[in-house]
Structure 1
């Protein structure tokens, strides 16, 4: 988009705001209220959101609102001043989409945004339940009105929704996935506080643990760390009510990974991993034990070479579990030898041979080909580039990082972006080289940093 296009887009956003009679602060409050209604409260003050609104409307250097803010603005402008849905040509909603287009948003993402907002605004019953299929929506509405009507069929349908959302990781932006999961998260919250049939209580707790864990990960990916912590706490409580320790181990592992990237130091993540290993050892899932030991190996190795013996021991236990008989394993985790090789690579990167680490990463990346594995592949490939830097091959590392930038941009993965920036810092001594300048330009264009 040209500078003129961006200025036109910014002016359109300002005109839409003024037509509603909103000041910058009033717009900020409206955005925060919309987030609360959608079950995705913002961890931001009115003043902070107000500054964002001003940057979107800047006449000199306007910026495109982020994915989450686009969604919130769309819900605000999808209704007219009387509160009625208004989505057609000439509506504020149509004008908003055009403004976002002029500010640089892609047609694909605008189409996704329009589909979500149209469905939640116009479908019968409205609200977040409109994102569910008709039969699931009807059954869930009935159970929310009368929790004694909760049954195995409805629980299976809700599990299906979680599986569908989880399967779109890597293909759909996290802020969209967060919205798609919201009906199940909110329904679990309400049902857990009600009197449901005793025969389904444990299954409901298992469903809630899974939904809250995934929602906690999505909140982390959209940089809402406070909401993420609260969701993981709720997931841990729900998992404790299942009577299956391996389910709580899964929550701890997911929480440990986001903690590693959102909290300074290794100790908070290490404590969660140790708890995961204890629960995994007490549980019935060999797959979860393998995954817990693998994560323990990575966190331990990040502490330095003085912990190499403990890290290698944890890795050996992970492979022992991976090679064990897993028939009848109660967990449906996709943890595989390809994933475990990625953990081997990270362990070697920190306490072993970077050449060996590079080979582990290469084999792991080559095996991670499913759409659901695109985020993990981007992470592994970035680590592979880091190994190349340590092998004194910075040009080849930069070449690999270009692909990682594209992958991180398309998936929206926060961890991939964090690791990309760390890899770029390791290229500082070559900052005068053209290949580093080209990488910097790519990162600025794609990621804004």
Structure 2
């Protein structure tokens, strides 16, 4: 961090305060009031807090606010001057995070702080528009009245909100994410009904496709299968006119995964995966193609077809090698060799060697470290536990499943819960053992089952 960065951060903090019309003393009183509102009153007096504010904004040698003050500043600036929570681009909160970054705060700590404020904003069921920038809110209200007023800035704001909700998967319960995404999904639906300028329709369809796909997954996770199917149908139809076929492949893949867990048998999921592969092969995203082939391998392995599973895995590896050589991909799909290890493990689990499967799963879990990958990490861990059971190591399996229970409970994820129940059934031969009784108690306490 350079001196210039620190000074820019200090100037940004000062600008935020001035924009609220606050003196140094006013800012100090606002921080003290925020601490009282949060049930964490400060022992410091107004003059003492005022001196701290002045040190953060110093034009000579500014300092980064301490942990407690960073939290108070976050809560203070999360609410706009109108009293509404605003955490999206262009909000005071976003400006605060940028200022703290210039003052030296680590990106990981800023991400944690933002995730905390998103969670807080949805604690009481309000804050539905929290992830929309203030300008996006105003533009959206105007466009819903007159679709001809849609512009590129509004569509960019809506896409940013979709990406924001998607990035919170694993950090927030799915029910809250569903609430945060609802305004964007409904806005897309209404705007697509007509009146939007023709040149902007492809971008609107792109935003809507991603919104519908994510909404379909969230509806599934919250056990609303009928709404999920309708949203995936809307996503598939909206992606159809787009020239980028890989976008429709992404819809098919997401739909296939939820179908795998909500529809008996494999045929419906297989048809969706095959459709995804067809679209991905004619699309420009090699990463999407790799993921489609990996899903094809999983379906083949679950069907007991080792040769087809290995062929699809080979194609997925080839695709990833191509993607790593080019270094560019039009999609933001997060699929890498670390994710592929989980699919390789699944294929070994169903049509290969359980010991090899266990090692693939362990490598995948170790690499999937971000909050966004928490749900995937939990799913892979339950598969690793199944491998342990097949290797006659049930106690090791139970140990793995305990951590999976905690993750499934915190996110409300449906797939991890289903995988947990399946793994628990595999432990029936050891049902009288103490480690199984402990796991059952944990399952009942956290998931009620």
TM-score normalised by length of structure 2? 0.72
Q: Which residue of 2 aligns with 1:17?
A: none
- Is 1:135 aligned to 2:135, yes or no? yes
Decide whether the 8 Å contact of 2:216 with 2:231 is kept in 1: yes
Q: Which residue of 1 aligns with 2:254?
A: 254
Deviation at 1:225, TM superposition (A): 0.2
Q: Which residue of 2 aligns with 1:322?
A: 320
- Is 1:368 aligned to 2:365, yes or no? no
CA offsets per residue over residues 183-242 of structure 1, 9 Å max, x none?
Answer: 110000001111211111111111111000000000000000000000000000011121
Quick one: structure 1 residues 401 and 109, their matched pair in 2 at CA, closer, same or farther if it must change by over 3 Å? farther
Deviation at 1:133, TM superposition (A): 2.9
CA offsets per residue over residues 415-440 of structure 1, 9 Å max, x none?
Answer: 00100000000000110111111111
Q: Distance in 2 between matches of 1:433 and 1:420?
A: 18
Deviation at 1:318, TM superposition (A): 0.2
Decide whether the 8 Å contact of 1:144 with 1:187 is kept in 2: yes
Deviation at 1:412, TM superposition (A): 1.4
- DSSP 3-state at the match of 1:376: helix
Decide whether the 8 Å contact of 1:130 with 1:137 is kept in 2: no
Quick one: structure 1 residues 387 and 203, their matched pair in 2 at CA, closer, same or farther if it must change by over 3 Å? same
Decide whether the 8 Å contact of 1:342 with 1:360 is kept in 2: yes
Deviation at 1:410, TM superposition (A): 1.2
Deviation at 1:132, TM superposition (A): 2.8
Q: Distance in 2 between matches of 1:381 and 1:326?
A: 32
Q: Distance in 2 between matches of 1:377 and 1:365?
A: 5
Quick one: structure 1 residues 282 and 262, their matched pair in 2 at CA, closer, same or farther if it must change by over 3 Å? same
Decide whether the 8 Å contact of 1:256 with 1:272 is kept in 2: yes
Q: Which residue of 1 aligns with 2:400?
A: 400
Q: Which residue of 2 aligns with 1:296?
A: 296
- DSSP 3-state at the match of 2:194: coil
How many residues in Structure 1 have an aligned counterpart in Structure 2? 332
Decide whether the 8 Å contact of 1:286 with 1:326 is kept in 2: no
Deviation at 1:413, TM superposition (A): 1.1
Quick one: structure 1 residues 411 and 326, their matched pair in 2 at CA, closer, same or farther if it must change by over 3 Å? farther
Deviation at 1:116, TM superposition (A): 3.8
Quick one: structure 1 residues 422 and 130, their matched pair in 2 at CA, closer, same or farther if it must change by over 3 Å? closer
Q: Distance in 2 between matches of 1:385 and 1:318?
A: 25
Deviation at 1:150, TM superposition (A): 1.2
Q: Distance in 2 between matches of 1:179 and 1:147?
A: 24
Deviation at 1:296, TM superposition (A): 0.4
Higher mean C-alpha deviation, range 325-334 or range 369-378? 325-334
Look at both structures and tell me which one has the larger radius of gyration over its CA atoms: 2
Decide whether the 8 Å contact of 1:203 with 1:242 is kept in 2: no
CA offsets per residue over residues 319-376 of structure 1, 9 Å max, x none?
Answer: 0000103433111111111111111111110000000000000000000000100000
Q: Which residue of 2 aligns with 1:203?
A: 203
Superposed CA RMSD in Å reads 1.7
Quick one: structure 1 residues 395 and 333, their matched pair in 2 at CA, closer, same or farther if it must change by over 3 Å? same
Q: Which residue of 2 aligns with 1:441?
A: 441
- Is 1:166 aligned to 2:166, yes or no? yes
> Which sections of structure 1, spanning at least 5 residues, go unmatched?
1-106, 120-127
Q: Which residue of 1 aligns with 2:432?
A: 432
Deviation at 1:130, TM superposition (A): 6.8
1:152-163 correspondence to structure 2 within 5 Å = 152-163=152-163
Q: Distance in 1 between matches of 2:369 and 2:119?
A: 27
Deviation at 1:108, TM superposition (A): 11
Q: Which residue of 1 aligns with 2:379?
A: 379
Quick one: structure 1 residues 394 and 109, their matched pair in 2 at CA, closer, same or farther if it must change by over 3 Å? farther
Q: Distance in 2 between matches of 1:237 and 1:326?
A: 31
TM-score normalised by length of structure 1? 0.72
Quick one: structure 1 residues 181 and 395, their matched pair in 2 at CA, closer, same or farther if it must change by over 3 Å? same
1:61-80 correspondence to structure 2 within 5 Å = none
Q: Distance in 2 between matches of 1:336 and 1:424?
A: 30
Decide whether the 8 Å contact of 2:143 with 2:149 is kept in 1: yes
Q: Distance in 2 between matches of 1:110 and 1:160?
A: 18
Q: Which residue of 1 aligns with 2:26?
A: none
1:40-189 correspondence to structure 2 within 5 Å = 113-117=122-126, 119=127, 129=129, 132-189=132-189
Q: Which residue of 1 aligns with 2:230?
A: 230
- Is 1:341 aligned to 2:341, yes or no? yes
CA offsets per residue over residues 170-189 of structure 1, 9 Å max, x none?
Answer: 11111100010001100000
Q: Distance in 2 between matches of 1:129 and 1:149?
A: 20
CA offsets per residue over residues 378-419 of structure 1, 9 Å max, x none?
Answer: 001110000000001001111111111111111211100100
Decide whether the 8 Å contact of 1:219 with 1:227 is kept in 2: yes
> Which sections of structure 2, spanning at least 5 residues, go unmatched?
1-115
Report runs of 4+ in structure 1 exceeding 6 Å deviation. 107-110
Q: Distance in 1 between matches of 2:124 and 2:164?
A: 17
Q: Which residue of 1 aligns with 2:423?
A: 423
- DSSP 3-state at the match of 1:323: helix
Q: Distance in 2 between matches of 1:166 and 1:109?
A: 13
